[in-house]
Amino acid sequence: MELHAQDEGRHAAGPEELWGESWYHDFAAEDGSYGGYLRMGLYPNLGVAWYWVHLVRRGQPLVLIRDHEIVCPNPTRGAVEVASARVRGTWKPVQPLRAYRITTEGTGVALANPADAFHGEQGPGVAVKLDLTWEGAAPCFAYSATSRFEQSAWVTGEMTIGDERIAVHCPGQRDHSWGVRDWWLFPWVWCSGRLDDGTWWHCVRSALPGPEAFQTGYIVDAGATDWREITEIALDYELDSEQMPTSVDLTVGDLALNITPELHAPVLLTSSDGAKTSRFPRAMCAVTTPDGRTGHCWLEFNFPEGVDHLRS
């Protein structure tokens, strides 16, 4: 797919019920002390927008805002703005295909046990405020098999959780995707992060048993300013009783990564008719390599109920 500046903005919707457009942004402190991710998903044919804010800190509860009932905003050429009783946010490219800014303010829920995100998200309310900018550390990586691009980035700004204010300056990732996206169709794994020598990576692959159908990603080598594409991704993992990962071995091309999930931030996904569910365990993780490098990353799995995955 060839990218253009206008691809930062909204695209014309297709006729399919599950046609959607989404923006994902995450960040992970280099010392593993804080991090988070935000996602805005627009589903114009369902008339709704999904809005996620998941914030993690070492030794502190998961704080999240998840609203799947926001009215889908009308198409616009500029910033995308959403609002509900719980949250409001503005998403806007500062420099197309280079820098992107998100502001968000709302009321989150604190979960001492992150797995409670699968069981009703019941917890005390917490005020949340964010003003963050993602600036590309390398050019955007456009997928060849689908309409989507990713970018490794430096994240700067500020987040406030309750009375705690945190200055953010750390590695992160962002993506923008549009097209039919069915959360309940097949399992997958996605991961992106940075090592202490300056190496960045991103990868995604399906987690179906049997012959592998889809895998892609890239590595930005230490000292490089551009990515090299990766087409082979090997995966092995262990899960707990809630289907959250406890250990993961991931090989992205020639980069072997031993991943230890540390701060979990999962989501339960339910179809609009309530008939299908999928567990979506996400976690900020510590990473080591066989040659002694270290780093942090965000890792996600998607496990649709009733669909086999690699370790079924």
**251 is a domain residue:** yes
> Which residues contact residue 117 at a Cβ distance below 8 angstroms, ignoring those fewer than 6 apart?
62, 64, 66, 111, 265, 266, 267, 268
pTM over 0.95: yes
**Tens digits of per-residue pLDDT, 20-67?**
999 999 999 999 999 999 999 999 999 999 999 999 999 999 999 999
How far apart are the two ends of the chain, measured CA to CA in Å? 34
Looking at 24-76, list the stretches that DSSP marks H as alpha helix, in order from N- to C-terminal side. none
**166 is a domain residue:** yes
**2 is a domain residue:** no
Domain hosting 124: range is: 19-304
CATH number, domain at 77? 2.40.370.10
Check if the beta carbon of residue 217 is closer than 8 Å to that of residue 204.
yes
**86 is a domain residue:** yes
**292 is a domain residue:** yes
Q: Specify the number of domains making up the chain.
A: 1
**Tens digits of per-residue pLDDT, 135-178?**
999 999 999 989 999 999 999 999 999 999 999 999 999 999 99
CA-wise closest residue to 53 among 282, 286, 293, 312: 282
Check if the beta carbon of residue 1 is closer than 8 Å to that of residue 149.
yes
**310 is a domain residue:** no
**Tens digits of per-residue pLDDT, 71-124?**
999 988 789 999 999 999 999 999 999 999 999 999 999 999 999 999 999 999
**139 is a domain residue:** yes
CA-wise closest residue to 67 among 80, 85, 81: 85
CA atoms within 13 A on the CB side of 52: 23
**13 is a domain residue:** no
